A and B are shown apart, each in its own frame.
Chain A
């Protein structure tokens, strides 16, 4: 029973690969098929063929010749070499050349790895390396930062009396304390938040100041008003006396 299941599994898994190898032959870095009339197929975007240096747009069924360069831009396409269908990835340039008893498609690249990648039958996965989706752990220094307000401010520079004729530029203000940063790690701005984070709680608002000084002014005004009233009363009583004394 086990042997039967294993045989069935082998047939199911190996069958497509056998069919592929039966139609396409790999010769060096090229994929070849037995045909005398290679054609463009399955174009889904910008597929162009170069003859004479310039690239003309190719359609499904466009015939190809030895020496042609096929450029696949944004999209995809294939080259049909008889029974062998060579899928081409976007942003590649391939060459059509004789070989393997028929025609071959070879990548135009200086690197062997890329030549293999450009040929889809040998590269079923996307060429884009799949980066791990695991969460990135940022360094602790980037996340648990010391409170900015606790950082000591630099001492003020001592005042210097300029001498006569001294043209030297006054010393620049001392820079903020240097913040060490782990290489390759993100570090929040150490200077961010220094402004506007430390309001002085004992500084009264302007209205309070006005009230305090206003009380002093009120006292002065009251004295002035009282003195004025007293003077007025005195003048009034004097006038009354003069009126009563007159015949």
Chain B
């Protein structure tokens, strides 16, 4: 009897478990149906927004219908991406105030570049340059350097207006990822050279000064415009105090400082036919040496130069030279000439063959109508055959000393 009772209990438990399982899965299925309804509800605002966007894209745009659909989408989901923007576009003609407010709302989406452009435009129109710089930062942070290439000349001009320069320089001082690109675009495309100079100098006055690469376009633009004096002043302003107080008439003539390739320092122009560099012998107490090695090809060599600002007077260019199997029909020489003129003020004697270290010097005279001069190392080839060159040369301890000084304006 006991066994029968046990078996009935087991059977009852089986039945109860089965019923519970069925009820559980039925409840789950019911919940799934409910979730499907919820999902369909979530998709409704997006579908409504798509209808609004399609209405705006129609030709002619159906702005009223677009406004109705976009408003419905926003009512269902106030944080719907592109919702504010679409409604702002739909209301652009009918209600400019509401449209502007909606654009401001859309601009809260930091990655919505279209909304950021409108916000930038609004900030500039209101003279809010700090706000405009904020928008610029949002627009270009993380979007890559290429974006700046599409910035219009007018926008650049306004951004670099005197009132905007300091906020922009302050932001650039934080080294945003778009700093280099903005400086490059400004240097290449800004037509107002004085505005460009003011902007670059504002950046240079900040703790994170312009690097040599960032300053080079400004100096080159000034030279191209014939404003050598401005370029010279900016070059001087960028030198450390200790260096400007001991620079002499030929800056870095002993190659003690790294060559910057900036005007008024040595400029080594890259070429595949020669290797130009400054070699330092650490620990040997030897001064740095300028080496030029030629690879045996034909090259119209004028790839080492230095811009000078010598006052009028008589001068001597001197140094030490050395040649190793320098094979060329003529040889190498240094040449000084006034900027913008072809006739030389002076030339050194030609160097070729094998020459041990020896001193050299060249005297020349600078007139009052020659405020800036070029010093160049050149291969004075008269025909193409004379450009074939191999071997190498080296120079050290270069300097320019005054022999006398005539007065200006006399």
Contacts and interface: CB of A to CB of B under 8 A. Distances in A.
Chain B interface secondary structure, helix, strand, loop or mixed?
Answer: helix
Given A73-B236, A108-B309, A143-B121, A215 B54 contact: no
Interface residues of B, number: 104
Interface string B8-36: 10110011011001101110111111011
B11 A229 contact: yes
B409 A97 contact: yes
B152 A184 contact: yes
A129 B409 contact: no
B53 A207 contact: no
B406 to A, nearest CB: 9
Interface in B23-71: 24-26, 28-33, 35-36, 39-40, 42-44, 46-47, 50, 53-54, 56-57
A106 to B, nearest CB: 7
Nearest to A232: B11
Contact of B54 (A150, A189, A236): A150
Given A106-B409, A129-B194, A136 B229 contact: no
A214 B25 contact: yes
A97 B313 CA distance: 13
A192 B111 contact: yes
B40 A109 contact: no
Contact of B25 (A108, A127, A134, A215): A215
Interface string A176-193: 000001001111110011
A27 B410 CA distance: 12
Taking each of B25, B53, B121, B192, which has the highest tally of chain A beta carbons within 10 Å of its own beta carbon? B25
Contacts of B29: 211-212, 214-215, 218
A111 B230 CA distance: 10
A104 B409 CA distance: 9
Given A201-B42, A207-B32, A147 B54 contact: yes
B88 to A, nearest CB: 10
Interface string A116-158: 0010000000111111111111110011111101100000000
Nearest to B226: A111
Contact of B151 (A186, A200, A226, A233): A186
Interface in B238-253: 241, 244-250
Nearest to A32: B409
A110 B369 CA distance: 9
Given A67-B408, A133-B161, A211 B28 contact: yes
B108 interface: no
Given A110-B226, A128-B195, A204 B39 contact: yes
A217 interface: yes
Nearest to A48: B244
Given A181-B150, A208-B33, A188 B117 contact: yes
A114 interface: yes
7 shortest interchain CB distances as A-B pairs: A201-B43, A211-B32, A109-B229, A218-B25, A225-B18, A135-B125, A147-B53
27 contacts: A46-B237, A53-B249, A55-B244, A69-B311, A71-B233, A72-B233, A91-B234, A93-B232, A107-B229, A108-B232, A110-B226, A114-B230, A115-B229, A128-B198, A131-B192, A135-B124, A138-B121, A145-B114, A149-B53, A193-B81, A207-B31, A211-B33, A212-B29, A217-B25, A218-B22, A222-B21, A228-B14
Interface of B: 3-4, 7-8, 10-11, 14-15, 17-18, 21-22, 24-26, 28-33, 35-36, 39-40, 42-44, 46-47, 50, 53-54, 56-57, 81-82, 86, 89, 92, 111-114, 117-118, 121, 124-125, 127, 143, 147, 150-155, 157-158, 160-163, 165, 192, 194-195, 197-198, 201, 205, 225-230, 232-234, 236-237, 241, 244-250, 309, 311, 339-340, 371-372, 400, 402, 405, 407-410
